[in-house]
């Protein structure tokens, strides 16, 4: 039996979108706080399986498949694959559920969505966990991502899929073993007629190459506008997306910013690391 229920809703432009809804296991809470988990560019709700199961002891956790990923509909207009559209979808989800206020947990692209959501409706955001993302994206990491999104060669078996993701991500996860890479692959691919295929619309790559709005390069004005919102930044020690200098500037501009660096992790920490879990638990406890 699954520890979440399947949740379907419609976007404003009619796409059928999916989320995992993990109910709070603390039955003494009639209206538990909601944590909204938003994944990275090519990922999906499966990335948060471990964290959501952990947090649902005290919170209701929503883990989404952003449009074009996982079980959500692909968008016939690839130009919609931008954080602004995704943020609108998240508000549609919260409104659908009658959730007035949420804590955001965003990995990479999900963190960019968090910036947009907080700037759009700051009163609805109780706190933000930013996983390996900040107001500026390191150009080296962005070029690396552009180099593979939508361009991965087809695979014919799960072993090939695990080998492919290992080759692409070994520098970010130097301690991963065979089981870790298979878990990674099974979250990134889905099986169709016995063959693993990427679990995202390869058209998400089009705005990356054509439209700066797909990956905003300067979110410092938004960061300044939302500086009153409690924030935790999780940074991978080996990250090529979130530079140490960016984190230092964030701290200068927001002295109460909480930061944890995860050793021997690149972009992006899984949030299953003991250091990440401890920091997230402490941060969420401070919001109570």
Q: Classify strands 189-192 and 195-198 as parallel, antiparallel or unpaired.
A: antiparallel
Asked if pLDDT for residue 74 goes beyond 70, the answer is: yes
Chain-centroid distance, C-alpha 272 = 13
DSSP E strands in 29-101: the ranges are 34-38, 60-65
In tens, the pLDDT along 109-137 reads: 999 999 999 999 999 999 999 999 999 99
Q: What is the predicted pLDDT for the residue at 106?
A: 98
- Phi, psi (deg, nearest 5) at residue 70: 55, -130
Higher pLDDT, 143 or 55: 55
Distance CA 180, CA 174 (A): 11
Confidence of residue 214 (pLDDT cuts 50, 70, 90): low
In tens, the pLDDT along 30-40 reads: 999 999 999 99
Q: What is the predicted pLDDT for the residue at 216?
A: 67
In tens, the pLDDT along 160-210 reads: 999 999 999 999 999 999 999 999 999 999 999 999 999 999 999 988 877
Helix axes 109-120, 83-97, angle to 10 degrees: 70
288 exposed, middle or buried (CB, 10 Å; 0-12, 13-18, 19+)? exposed
**What integer is the mean pLDDT of 264-270?**
98
> Which whole-number Å values give the CA distances from 231 to 94, 102, 114, 187, in the listed order?
20, 13, 11, 27
Residue 204, CB half-sphere, CA atoms under 13 Å: how many? 28
Q: What is the predicted pLDDT for the residue at 213?
A: 56
Q: What is the predicted pLDDT for the residue at 150?
A: 78
Asked if pLDDT for residue 211 goes beyond 90, the answer is: no
CA angle 146, 245, 285 (to 5 degrees): 95
Q: What is the predicted pLDDT for the residue at 218?
A: 86
Q: How many residues would you count in the chain?
A: 288
Query: Edge-to-edge, what's the strand order for the sheet holding 258-262?
Result: 5-10, 16-22, 60-65, 34-38, 102-107, 125-131, 231-236, 258-262
Q: What is the predicted pLDDT for the residue at 151?
A: 82
Q: What is the predicted pLDDT for the residue at 215?
A: 66
Neighbours of 12 (CB within 10 A): 10
**What integer is the mean pLDDT of 19-23?**
98
Distance CA 12, CA 159 (A): 39
Confidence of residue 1 (pLDDT cuts 50, 70, 90): low
Q: What is the predicted pLDDT for the residue at 24?
A: 98
User: Is residue 162 within 8 Å of 182, Cβ to Cβ?
Assistant: yes
What is the average pLDDT score of the chain?
95
In tens, the pLDDT along 132-162 reads: 999 999 988 988 988 888 788 999 999 999 9
Residue 118's SS3 state is helix
Distance CA 243, CA 265 (A): 13
- Phi, psi (deg, nearest 5) at residue 262: -95, 115
């Amino acid at each position: 039996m699954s520890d979440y229920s399947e949740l379907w809703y419609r976007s404003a432009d009619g796409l059928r979108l999916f989320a995992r809804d993990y109910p709070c296991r603390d039955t003494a809470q009639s209206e538990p706080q909601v944590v909204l988990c938003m994944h990275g560019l090519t990922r999906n709700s499966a990335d948060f399986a471990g964290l959501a199961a952990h947090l649902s002891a005290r919170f209701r956790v929503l883990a989404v498949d952003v449009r074009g990923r996982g079980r959500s509909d692909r968008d016939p207009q690839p130009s919609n694959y931008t954080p602004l559209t995704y943020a609108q979808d998240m508000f549609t989800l919260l409104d659908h559920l009658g959730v007035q206020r949420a804590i955001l947990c965003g990995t990479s692209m999900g963190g960019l969505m968090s910036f947009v959501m907080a700037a759009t409706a700051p009163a609805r955001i109780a706190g933000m966990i930013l996983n390996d993302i900040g107001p500026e994206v390191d150009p080296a990491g962005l070029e690396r991502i552009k180099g593979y999104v939508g361009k991965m060669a087809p695979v014919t078996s799960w072993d090939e899929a695990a080998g492919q993701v290992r080759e692409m991500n070994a520098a970010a996860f130097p301690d991963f073993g065979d089981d870790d890479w298979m878990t990674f692959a099974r979250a990134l691919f889905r099986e169709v007629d016995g063959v693993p295929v990427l679990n995202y619309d390869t058209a998400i790559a089009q705005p990356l190459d054509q439209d700066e709005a797909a990956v905003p390069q300067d979110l410092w004005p938004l960061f300044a506008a939302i500086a009153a919102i409690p924030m935790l930044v999780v940074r991978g020690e080996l990250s090529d997306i979130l530079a140490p200098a960016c984190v230092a500037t964030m701290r200068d501009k927001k002295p109460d910013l909480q930061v944890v660096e995860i050793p021997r992790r690149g972009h992006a920490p899984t949030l299953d690391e003991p250091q990440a879990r401890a920091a997230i638990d402490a941060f969420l406890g401070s919001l109570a």
